[in-house]
Amino acid sequence: MKRKFFAIIALTLLATMAFIGCSAKGDMAFDNMAGAVPPEMNDESYTEIIENPFVDASIQPDAYFSIDANTASYPNLRNSIMNGSSYINRDAVRVEEMLNYFSYDYTRPTGDDILALNASVFDNPYNSESKLMTVGLAAKEVDFATVRNNIVFLIDVSGSMAAENKLGLVQQAFMMLAENLNEGDRVSIVTYAGSDSVALSGAYGYEKTRIMAVIEDLYASGSTAGSKGIRTAYSLAEKYFIEGGNNRVILATDGDFNVGVTSNFELEMLISAKRRSGIYLSVFGVGNGNLKSDKMETLALKGNGTYSYIDSVREAKRALVEQIGGTMLTVAKDVKAGITFNPDYVSQWRLIGYENKLLTEEEYEDDQTDAGELGSGHTVTVVFEIKLTDKTFEVDTALAEVGIKYKPTENSGGASDVSSELKLAVKTNDYHSQMTANDAFVSSVVEFALVLRDSIYKGDASINAVIARLEGITLEDEFKAEFREVVKKYRENCDREIYY
């Protein structure tokens, strides 16, 4: 009996070690507000993050990694924080997804260009011994109204989805999307619980009343045979395939697959085989307490798509109405980055985020390597923390060389299986001691993430410093302004925290 008791205690401690309290020192804390979900009651799962270390540039000057525009981490964290929670799972804090949720004032592609590169180097506000180097990537914008779409809504209606912030929210989100379809678009709806079911097959975009009636009649019950639903959804996408159009499966789920193919590896193999058909995948996560983020990220990564999280009707409108092109239209696929630092100026470097997207040089050079996707109008921000040598800057000299490889798609002027490469030299001229508005916001997101993760690289990072910086810049973008309120709310949650 004693052994059983101590085993339970040990398992509870292990479960809670992944969560960080507001002290940001690894202390465990309990928030007694209604929105908080204590770790022992939380059944969410995330891909483990082991932060990238500093690398000696004289030994290893190169970094290679896949780039995508996943944004799920930020709205998921926002949802928890705004509901009063101070428990943060380290692995839920994905810095690149937090950064890429927001749009930035980057130079945009012109003419026939699909992507444009930007760079900045500035003093690190939370570590005086290093600088931050940002690489900004902006994608071409395509008018959604000009593209023919073949869309399959794949909707989880299992018992775990029986909540207003799950299936109820998905229904509202997909009805918004249906309102914005073009008349000639094709729409199918597949549901899955204990088994899969075709609720609608190949309706036209002008049949909005019919489409929305099917969505409205959905209800949740039963177990979760996700793999069956995925297979059926892809078969319908193939049946109504539009040559030269946007062919896409949109999956909405809390990710709790428990019937059929359930392991991440098996799901990866299934989706990898399907993506060769030219059908893209968008994954939307919903709900909390049971979110299987690791599975959904795997599906998006291997399905040539993106993973987002919807926590409100407002977020659904943002993703599926206001930014419908970025969500629905992929303009560049297999996007990957290769950065080479100049060891004359950079002694050490550290890639912040992208931990599970690292590539080898061989994978970067190989056109067959599967990498990330970018949608119409997307912006992506990559941040490095760098330590400089004692060498005095010479004007117009490279600190680093950036290469971006990608393949155009049907939506950006013609699909190709051969990579194009975009290059940019990050030069000494790109360093400035005064942060721009972009710099200030980017560094605030990074610093907040490092505090939430209780990162060993957080230096002097603090919530108060983040708030002060955000209050020092004009935030005309409503979502950036909201970010400031999220940080303030987290501080408020911390102030009300009760320690054991």
Convert the pLDDT of each residue in 370-390 to its tens digit: 899 999 999 999 999 999 999
The confidence band for 114, taking pLDDT boundaries of 50, 70 and 90, is very high
Residue 215 forms part of a structural domain:
yes
What's the confidence (pLDDT) of residue 26? 34
3-state class of 269 per DSSP? helix
Task: Give me the mean pLDDT over the 438-445 stretch.
Answer: 97
Range of the domain at 226: 144-328
The CATH number covering residue 184 comes to 3.40.50.410
Residue 127 forms part of a structural domain:
no
Residue 158 forms part of a structural domain:
yes
Give the separation between CA 194 and CA 182, rounded to whole angstroms.
Answer: 33
pLDDT per residue as tens digits for the range 258-312: 545 555 576 677 777 777 778 888 888 888 766 777 777 877 777 777 888 998 9
Residue 276 forms part of a structural domain:
yes
Give the separation between CA 150 and CA 242, rounded to whole angstroms.
Answer: 6
**Left if phi > 0, otherwise alpha if psi is -120 to 50, otherwise beta: which for 474?**
beta
What's the confidence (pLDDT) of residue 37? 44
Q: Which residue from 135, 45, 71 is spatially nearest to 372, judged by alpha carbons?
A: 71
**Left if phi > 0, otherwise alpha if psi is -120 to 50, otherwise beta: which for 177?**
alpha
Residue 354 forms part of a structural domain:
no
Give the separation between CA 202 and CA 190, rounded to whole angstroms.
Answer: 11
C-alpha dist (Å) from residue 204 to 180, 185, 429: 12, 6, 54
359 HSE (CA, 13 A, CB side): 24
Give the separation between CA 101 and CA 107, rounded to whole angstroms.
Answer: 18
Give the separation between CA 487 and CA 98, rounded to whole angstroms.
Answer: 13
The answer to whether residue 88 scores a pLDDT higher than 90 is: no
Give the separation between CA 312 and CA 318, rounded to whole angstroms.
Answer: 10
DSSP assignments along 179-206, one per residue: HT--TT-EEEEEEESSSEEEEEEEEETT
Residue 293 forms part of a structural domain:
yes
Give the separation between CA 79 and CA 211, rounded to whole angstroms.
Answer: 29
What's the confidence (pLDDT) of residue 257? 59
What's the confidence (pLDDT) of residue 25? 39
Give the separation between CA 221 and CA 157, rounded to whole angstroms.
Answer: 6
Give the separation between CA 276 and CA 273, rounded to whole angstroms.
Answer: 6
DSSP conformation class of 145? G
pLDDT per residue as tens digits for the range 40-57: 446 678 889 999 999 999
Number of domains in the chain: 1
Residue 258 forms part of a structural domain:
yes
Residue 211 forms part of a structural domain:
yes
Give the separation between CA 173 and CA 382, rounded to whole angstroms.
Answer: 30
The DSSP bridge partners found for residue 135 are: 119, 382
C-alpha dist (Å) from residue 406 to 277, 338, 370, 410, 465: 19, 12, 10, 13, 37
pTM, two decimals, is 0.88
Residue with tokens 């409205």: 216
Which of 112-116, 253-257, 398-402 is the least confident region? 253-257
Q: Average pLDDT over the chain, rounded to whole?
A: 86
Q: Which residue from 346, 385, 464 is spatially nearest to 132, judged by alpha carbons?
A: 385
Contact present, 451 and 463 (Cβ < 8 Å): yes
Give the separation between CA 258 and CA 140, rounded to whole angstroms.
Answer: 39
